[in-house]
Chain A
Amino acid sequence: MAEISPTRLEAPARVAGAPPAVTVVVPTRNEADNVGPLADRVRAAFGDQPVEIVFVDDSDDATPSAIEAIAERHPGEVRLIHRVSQERAGGLGGAVVAGISAARAPWVVVMDGDLQHPPETAPLLLAAGRAETAQAVVASRYRESGRVDGLGGWFRRTVSRGSGRLAKLFFPLRLRGVTDPMSGFFAVRRDAVRPAELRPDGYKILLEMLVRNRIERVAEVPYTFRSRTAGESKASLPEGLRYFRHLAGLRLSMMRRPQSAYGRMAGFALAGAAGTAVNSVALWALGELAGLPYLLAAFLAVQVAIVWNFAVIDHLVMPPGVHARRHRFGRFLLLNNSLTPLHLGLLFALVRWGGLHYLGANVVAIIVVFALRYIVTSSWVYGTPAGGGLPATELMRLVRRTGQVRVILTLLLTALAFPALLAVSWNGLWTRSGAVPLIIPLAAATALVLGRLRPDRGEPDVHDRQVDGLLSVGCLVSASALLLLAPAPDRLTWLLPASLFYLAGAAILLLGTRTAARLRWALLLPLVSIADLGLAANDAPAVLGAVACLIVSALVIFGARWGAFARAAVASLAVVAVAANVPFVAGMFSSGRYAGLPALTDVSLALVVAAIVVFWSRSRPVRALAAGRPFLPRARFVLATLTVVAVLLGLRTLPELTWQPAELPATSGASSQGSPRGDR
Chain B
Amino acid sequence: MPAEVIERKLTAYSAHVVLTRLQRIGLFAGLALLAGVAVLRPMLVLQVIVALVTLCYGAAIAFRVALVYAAGRGEHRVLISDEDARAVADAELPVYTVLVPAYREPSVIGALMAHLSALEYPRDKLEVILLLEPDDTETIEAARAALTGEHLRILVVPESMPKTKPKACNVGLAEATGEFVTIYDAEDIPDPLQLRRAVVALRRLGPEYVCLQAELGYFNTDQNRITRWFALEYATWFRSLLPGLVALGMPVPLGGTSNHFRTRELRELGAWDPYNVTEDADLGIRLARSGFRVGVLESVTLEEANSDFINWIKQRSRWYKGYLMTWLVHLRSPRATFKQLGWRGLLCLNLFVGGTPLAALLNAVLWATTLLWFLAQPAVMEQIFIPPFYYIGVFCLVFGNATVIYLNVLSVRSMDRPDLLGTALLSPLYWAMMSLASAKAAWQLVFKPSYWEKTTHGLHLPTTAPAASDDI
- Seen from chain A, the residues whose Cβ lies within 8 Å of a Cβ on chain B are 1, 457-458, 460, 462-464, 466-467, 470-471, 481, 485, 513-514, 517, 558-559, 561, 563-564, 620, 623
Q: Please state if A462 and B310 are interface contacts (CB–CB under 8 Å).
A: yes
13 A–B contacts from the bound complex (CB under 8 Å):
A457-B465, A457-B468, A462-B456, A463-B310, A464-B310, A466-B443, A466-B444, A467-B314, A470-B440, A470-B443, A513-B310, A558-B471, A620-B471
**Closest 7 interchain pairs by CB?**
A458-B463, A485-B376, A563-B471, A462-B311, A466-B440, A464-B310, A460-B308
Q: Please state if B310 and A467 are interface contacts (CB–CB under 8 Å).
A: yes
Q: How far is the CA of A564 from the CA of B314 in the complex (A)?
A: 37
Q: How far is the CA of A563 from the CA of B456 in the complex (A)?
A: 36
Contacts of B465 in A (CB 8 A): 457
Binary per-residue interface labels of chain B (423-451) against chain A in the complex, 1 for a CB within 8 Å, 0 otherwise: 00000000000001001100110000000
Given the known inter-chain contacts A457-B465, A466-B444, A559-B471, please indicate yes or no for A471 contacting B436, CB distance below 8 A. Answer: yes
With both chains docked as a complex, state the minimum distance between the C-beta of B86 and any C-beta of chain A, in angstroms.
41
Q: How far is the CA of A467 from the CA of B437 in the complex (A)?
A: 8
Additional A-B contact list (7), CB under 8 Å, known A513-B310, A558-B471 = A462-B456, A464-B313, A464-B440, A466-B440, A466-B444, A467-B440, A513-B309
Q: Please state if A481 and B372 are interface contacts (CB–CB under 8 Å).
A: yes
Q: How far is the CA of A561 from the CA of B470 in the complex (A)?
A: 10
Nearest to A467 among chain B residues (CB) is: B313
Contacts of A464 in B (CB 8 A): 310, 313-314, 440
Contacts of B440 in A (CB 8 A): 464, 466-467, 470
Given the known inter-chain contacts A462-B456, A481-B372, A559-B471, please indicate yes or no for A470 contacting B311, CB distance below 8 A. Answer: no
Q: How far is the CA of A291 from the CA of B317 in the complex (A)?
A: 72
Given the known inter-chain contacts A460-B308, A485-B375, please indicate yes or no for A467 contacting B471, CB distance below 8 A. Answer: no
Q: How far is the CA of A463 from the CA of B453 in the complex (A)?
A: 12
Contacts of A1 in B (CB 8 A): 141, 144
Nearest to B455 among chain A residues (CB) is: A462
With both chains docked as a complex, state the minimum distance between the C-beta of B428 and any C-beta of chain A, in angstroms.
16
Q: How far is the CA of A178 from the CA of B311 in the complex (A)?
A: 55
Which of A457, A458, A559 has the largest count of B CB atoms less than 10 A from its CB?
A458
Q: How far is the CA of A281 from the CA of B294 in the complex (A)?
A: 91
Q: How far is the CA of A623 from the CA of B440 in the complex (A)?
A: 32
Q: Which of B375, B376, B444, B468 contacts A623 (CB 8 A)?
A: B468
Q: Please state if B436 and A467 are interface contacts (CB–CB under 8 Å).
A: yes
With both chains docked as a complex, state the minimum distance between the C-beta of B290 and any C-beta of chain A, in angstroms.
36
Nearest to A463 among chain B residues (CB) is: B310
Instruction: Tell me if B394 is interfacial: C-beta within 8 Å of chain A.
Output: no
Contacts of A458 in B (CB 8 A): 463
Which chain B residues numbered 332 to 387 have a C-beta less than 8 Å away from chain A?
Answer: 372, 375-376
Given the known inter-chain contacts A466-B444, A559-B471, A563-B471, please indicate yes or no for A460 contacting B311, CB distance below 8 A. Answer: yes
With both chains docked as a complex, state the minimum distance between the C-beta of B380 and any C-beta of chain A, in angstroms.
13
With both chains docked as a complex, state the minimum distance between the C-beta of B155 and any C-beta of chain A, in angstroms.
18
Nearest to B307 among chain A residues (CB) is: A460
Q: Which of A470, A558, A561, A620 contacts B436 (CB 8 A)?
A: A470
Q: How far is the CA of A505 from the CA of B372 in the complex (A)?
A: 19
With both chains docked as a complex, state the minimum distance between the C-beta of A178 and any C-beta of chain B, in angstroms.
44
Q: How far is the CA of A440 from the CA of B311 in the complex (A)?
A: 36
Which of B141, B309, B456 has the largest count of A CB atoms less than 10 A from its CB?
B309
Q: Please state if A462 and B463 are interface contacts (CB–CB under 8 Å).
A: no
Nearest to B377 among chain A residues (CB) is: A485
Contacts of B141 in A (CB 8 A): 1
Nearest to B469 among chain A residues (CB) is: A623
Q: Please state if A462 and B314 are interface contacts (CB–CB under 8 Å).
A: yes
Contacts of B313 in A (CB 8 A): 464, 467
Q: How far is the CA of A674 from the CA of B317 in the complex (A)?
A: 55
Which chain B residues numbered 288 to 335 have a C-beta less than 8 Å away from chain A?
Answer: 308-311, 313-314, 317
Instruction: Tell me if B52 is interfacial: C-beta within 8 Å of chain A.
Output: no
Q: How far is the CA of A515 from the CA of B444 in the complex (A)?
A: 24
Q: How far is the CA of A463 from the CA of B436 in the complex (A)?
A: 15
Contacts of B144 in A (CB 8 A): 1
With both chains docked as a complex, state the minimum distance between the C-beta of A403 and any C-beta of chain B, in angstroms.
17
Instruction: Tell me if B459 is interfacial: C-beta within 8 Å of chain A.
Output: yes
Q: Which of A457, A467, A481, A514 contacts B463 (CB 8 A)?
A: A457
